[in-house]
Amino acid sequence: MPNRTFQNTKIVATLGPASDSYETMLEMVRAGVDVFRINMSHGSHEVAARQIETITKLNKDYKINIGILADLQGPKLRVGQIENNSLELQPGDILTFVNEKCVGNSEKIYMSYQQFAADVEVGEKVLVDDGKVGLEVVETNNIDCVKLKVLFGKELSSNKGVNLPDTHVSLPALTTKDIEDFDFLMTQPVNWIALSFVRSPKEIKDLKERIKRFQHQACVIAKIEKPQAVEKIEKIVKASDGIMIARGDLGVEMPIEKLPGIQKRIIALCVQYGKPVIVATQMMDSMITNPSPTRAEVTDVANAVLEGTDAVMLSGETSVGAYPVETVRAMNRIIAEAEKNYPKNHIRPYPSPKSDTFMSDVVCFNAAKTAEELGASAIIGMTAQGYTGFKISSYRSPAEIFIFSDRKEIAGMLNLVWGVRCFFYDGFNTTDETITEVLHILKSKNRIKSGQTVVFVGSMPLKTRGMTNMMKVALVE
């Protein structure tokens, strides 16, 4: 696409009223967007279908592969309506939460979580409105009524979110709304589905099985926003196809000063296991209303890039903000500058001989190593399922990564992955003929030049699926 620069670190932008027209989305793509996020918490299925249709049209019109990520709402807990929309609070006040709908006041307040009284225990903390109000459980009848003492906060407003950092919530991973949204998404060409408030690897495996039953190709992203997920992070990374560090709820549920260390650890784990990772929430938050980011936001984005994240995400900045295109453009500039200082000696753990994919992993590992030692300009891979792209990316090679696939959905999926540029290709003749053809394609797109060295990886024979067993070094003629 003309007027577009490409960075290794990808940009995910959330669609909303400020950004879901064809013209605005096109300008956002030109500014640097690689994946659009559809937030199923807001809007109808009709709105989501229209957004997905627009992305698909953009991809077709401009022969690009912008990915589509659909984000399920998950079990979001809320208080109900409050009389006059506000209840003044003082530390020491006692509030009563009930599970029967009512207009809240100083006597009682509706809580949407029906098992609240059964799940909480005396002494546990309850946080409301992104942590602006702190409460402590002082009494529960284990059925339908909980008394809480106000620890801090000045007012409680209607429909504010509730976080239970100390409580093992018994809600299922998928709510009734999530299942309805999921069934709708199975009729759409989405590449990624994000599961909210993940607590265990089993929830990821269950969602994958559900997708498999629909014979859909969507991959699953685990959103890390609960302490229980942080405790089981390595198992969750292994079970998922990708990870989103959702710092909003995570920063409410855990001490906020722990977030930077948690983010760094999760990114390192994802790179180690070859799973794409997204850093999300408040990355350029001030640009919802301002035309330029704060210095702290610039540093936040740059640090995520330097830590090795695959993607950085924009939420309200592009969905409801006043400057959606300008925000993407600013983020792209920050990424480009940060990548000039990207660590040159990236640690590449040697593939495990115990892995089922050991042969493919060794080929990809050595492709990255060979490309670096030869000063190759590109690693070119052929893939049917995307695995080659994921694995080569995880080695963070300084060479460009170009992946060819005969499945269009793979191209959109890999657009989230660090450094990967994917192209649709369904020729797959002999190995030598295919190499000649893909080199011609890349030369015609000005991605490689005559005289450059490239490293080619794939399977032999080329139509073999699920196995990368061949590496070839070639000189571009």
453 noted as active-site residue: no
Strand 67-71 to 35-39 pairing: parallel
Rounded Cα distance between 401 and 114, Å, is: 50
Rounded Cα distance between 183 and 174, Å, is: 12
Quote the Cα angle for 142-146-150, to 5°: 150
37 noted as active-site residue: yes
Select which of 281, 318, 327, 383 is catalytic.
281
78 noted as active-site residue: yes
* Nearest CA among 112, 126, 212, 215 for reference residue 167: 126
333 noted as active-site residue: no
* Nearest CA among 439, 438, 441, 395 for reference residue 418: 395
Residue pair 365/387 in contact (Cβ under 8 Å)? The answer is: no
Select which of 24, 56, 76, 78 is catalytic.
78
Residue pair 109/131 in contact (Cβ under 8 Å)? The answer is: no
Residue pair 170/47 in contact (Cβ under 8 Å)? The answer is: no
Residue 127 backbone phi and psi in degrees, to 5: -115, 135
Helical axes 22-31 vs 324-339, angle rounded to 10°: 20
Instruction: Give Cα 118 to chain centroid, integer Å.
Output: 33
Residue pair 464/428 in contact (Cβ under 8 Å)? The answer is: no
Select which of 30, 37, 226, 447 is catalytic.
37
Strand 86-88 to 94-98 pairing: unpaired
Residue pair 352/375 in contact (Cβ under 8 Å)? The answer is: no
Greatest C-alpha distance within the chain: 80
Q: Reduced to 3 DSSP states, what percent helix, strand and coil does the chain have, rounded to the nearest 5? A: 35, 25, 40
Contacts of residue 253, defined as CB under 8 A and 6 or more positions apart, other chains included, come to 127, 163, 164, 165, 225, 226, 227
Select which of 223, 275, 391, 396 is catalytic.
223
Contacts of residue 63, defined as CB under 8 A and 6 or more positions apart, other chains included, come to none
Residue pair 87/171 in contact (Cβ under 8 Å)? The answer is: no
Question: Active-site positions?
Answer: 37, 78, 223, 281
